[in-house]
């Protein structure tokens, strides 16, 4: 046992927020509190948590989690839950490192030896997907995800959907499964049409066919398509997830470990989903610490299906040279072979963070700004 001595956070390129916790005996752990486009808000929340939780027992992870959640009164939401996630992940890393064990052992032990993964192609306005898909296949991936469309109006020409089908066909012809991310960009009149024309081409899933706040629309959509419906990155707790499970309107749940309160909460969400025969496929176009945490959860979660990886995702390449192979000492942990990454077996999260690189980059890293689309008439569109 040891009390929390310090909690530090580091804003790093391209758009990530890392957390380091050290106890009074010098044991440490790393977490990730990335909330894309809202780093300053999470940093402010972490400042408050630092004042509150320094001096708490580092091993009492659940007690700290419950205190942060229940004593906040205004609870939940992306900012609070992302800050809490960074602390929660770091505490699990600290505990398992102190015990000299891989984290998944503390969570019940492995139910698999390797993790099925997918990565991204195409960018925000998907183009030239054939070359990108061939590159992913050569890297070892057997599944990818891409945005289904560019920005689309509330009611747009059906022609706006034609290229989505063609891109799906091109990628599948290369031998890759493809998940299509609607990204909440489409409204119900267009989402219904796109799901129907995609159905004969059997995408792996359609993600956020509507924004998560339209739970009644998602329930309706699920009734007339056989394509698996996935969502979850904008759900921040088991209480947010509950409605979709009760409605039986989704097939794949995609909580983000850095948005939903960390390892402690994503484990509870996964167990809830299993009881409804819903697969877990965590959202993670983020940094190496969040990805390692996801991998540890995947190792011990029976209903885990597939893991998103942000390897050379467009958000990273647009910002320069920083990617998930930065900030860690052994880059080979992310090697992909025939669609899988080997389960992480090192102590803690299974990665060793390059603290020198983290501190160096954090000195000058700017916050990543949110993106957005504007229609030809000047109206604001979903991004």
pLDDT tens string 50-92: 999 999 999 999 999 999 999 999 999 999 999 999 999 999 9
Q: How many alpha carbons fall within 13 Å on the CB side of residue 3?
A: 7
Residue 353, phi then psi, degrees to nearest 5: -75, 135
> How far apart are the C-alpha atoms of 66 and 69, rounded to whole Å?
5
For residue 234, count other CB atoms closer than 10 A to its CB.
Answer: 18
Q: How many alpha carbons fall within 13 Å on the CB side of residue 359?
A: 5
pLDDT of residue 126: 81
Instruction: Using a cut of 0.85, tell me whether the model's pTM lies above it.
Output: yes
Summarised one tens digit per residue, pLDDT across range 262-312 is 999 999 999 999 999 999 999 999 999 999 999 999 999 999 999 999 999
Local structure of 6: helix, strand or coil: strand
pLDDT of residue 304: 98
Local structure of 35: helix, strand or coil: coil
Q: List, for the chain, all residue ranges whose pLDDT scores fall below the cut of 50.
A: none
Local structure of 15: helix, strand or coil: coil
The residues annotated with a catalytic role in the active site are: 183, 283
pLDDT of residue 155: 94
Q: Strand (E) positions, the chain?
A: 4-12, 16-23, 28-32, 114-120, 143-147, 177-181, 205-207, 229-231, 252-253, 279-280, 307-308, 340-342, 373-374, 380-381
Local structure of 306: helix, strand or coil: coil
Q: Tell me the torsion sign for CA atoms 79, 21, 286, 113.
A: negative
> How far apart are the C-alpha atoms of 106 and 258, rounded to whole Å?
20
The DSSP output letter for 234 is: T
pLDDT of residue 320: 87
């Amino acid at each position: 046992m040891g009390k929390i001595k310090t909690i530090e956070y580091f804003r790093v390129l391209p758009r990530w927020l890392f957390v380091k916790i050290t106890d009074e005996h010098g044991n440490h752990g790393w977490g990730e509190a990335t909330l894309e486009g809202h780093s300053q808000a999470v940093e402010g929340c972490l400042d408050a948590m630092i004042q509150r939780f320094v001096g708490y027992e580092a091993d009492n992870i659940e007690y700290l989690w419950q205190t942060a959640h229940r004593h906040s009164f205004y609870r939940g939401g992306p900012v609070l839950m992302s800050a809490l996630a960074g602390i929660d992940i770091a505490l699990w890393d600290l505990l398992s490192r102190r015990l000299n064990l891989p984290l998944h052992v503390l969570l019940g032990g492995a139910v698999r030896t390797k993790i099925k993964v997918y990565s991204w192609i195409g960018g925000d306005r998907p183009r030239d997907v054939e070359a990108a898909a061939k590159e992913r296949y050569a890297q070892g991936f057997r599944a990818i995800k891409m945005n289904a469309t560019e920005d689309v109006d509330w009611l747009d020409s059906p022609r706006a959907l034609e290229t989505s089908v063609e891109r799906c066909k091109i990628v599948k012809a290369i031998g890759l499964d493809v998940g299509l991310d609607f990204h909440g960009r489409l409204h119900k009149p267009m989402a219904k049409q796109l799901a129907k024309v995609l159905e004969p081409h059997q995408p792996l899933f359609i993600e956020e066919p509507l924004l998560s706040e339209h739970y009644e629309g998602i329930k309706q959509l699920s009734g007339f398509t056989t394509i698996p419906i996935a969502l979850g990155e904008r759900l921040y707790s088991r209480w947010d997830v509950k409605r979709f499970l009760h409605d039986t309107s989704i097939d794949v749940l995609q909580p983000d470990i850095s948005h939903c309160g960390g390892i402690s909460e994503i484990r509870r969400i996964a167990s809830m989903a299993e009881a409804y025969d819903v697969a877990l496929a965590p959202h993670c176009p983020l940094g190496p610490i969040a990805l390692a945490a996801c991998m540890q959860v995947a190792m011990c979660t029976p209903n885990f299906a597939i893991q998103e990886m942000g390897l050379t995702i467009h958000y990273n390449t647009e910002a320069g040279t920083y990617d998930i192979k930065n900030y860690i000492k052994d880059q080979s942990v992310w090697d992909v072979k025939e669609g899988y990454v080997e389960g992480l077996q090192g102590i803690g999260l299974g990665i060793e963070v390059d603290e020198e690189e983290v501190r160096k980059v954090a000195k000058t890293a700017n916050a990543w700004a949110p993106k957005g689309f504007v229609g030809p008439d000047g109206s604001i569109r979903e991004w």
